[in-house]
Amino acid sequence: MDPVSETTQSTERRGTMVVLMTVDPSRSDDVDRHFRDDVRPWAQRQPGFVHAQWIRLADGDRGMGMVTFETQDQAHEAAKGPRMAPHVDGRAWNTDSVDVYAVVTQA
């Protein structure tokens, strides 16, 4: 099989969980620590974890996590975690939405 076909086949069944968050821009160090020390290790322990990226607006109030799994079912299962996170007034971050997308292609 040619490398292009292998890449296409291996990514067609993958799923990416996208977590949108509201963050407190005045507490960016707390947000970064949460992403790095809490969320990243949790994601890496999830079955089927492939790779992830967490980003936030440099001076804004939005953050996003994108975590890719070997299958969409694994992404849906992992999404249960952040969906259960309660909104906490005064916290440096809160989850607004969690969705799972099918990976179409990647570069």
Q: What is the CATH number of the domain that holds 7?
A: 3.30.70.100
**How many domains is the chain built from?**
1
Residue 12 reports pLDDT greater than 90: no
13 half-sphere exposure, CB direction, 13 A CA radius? 8
Residue 97 lies in a domain: yes
Maximum distance among all Cα pairs of the chain, rounded to whole angstroms = 54
| pLDDT mean across residues, the chain | 90
Look up the domain containing 36 and give its range: 3-102
Check residue 104 and report its DSSP letter.
-
- Using alpha carbons, select from 98, 103, 15, 14 the residue that is nearest to residue 63: 98
pLDDT above 90 (res 11):
no
Q: Tens of pLDDT along 34-85?
A: 999 999 999 999 999 999 999 999 989 999 999 999 999 999 999 999 999 9
Assess if residue 27 is contained within a domain: yes
Whole-number Å distance between alpha carbons of 36 and 62: 16
In a domain, residue 107? The reply is: no
Domain-located, residue 12: yes
**40 vs 105, residue with greater confidence:** 40
In a domain, 69, yes or no: yes
| pLDDT mean over 13-37 | 96
Inter-residue contact 74 to 65 (CB < 8 Å)? no
What integer pLDDT is reported at residue 13 of this predicted model? Answer: 84
56 lies in some domain: yes
Neighbours of 78 (CB within 10 A): 23
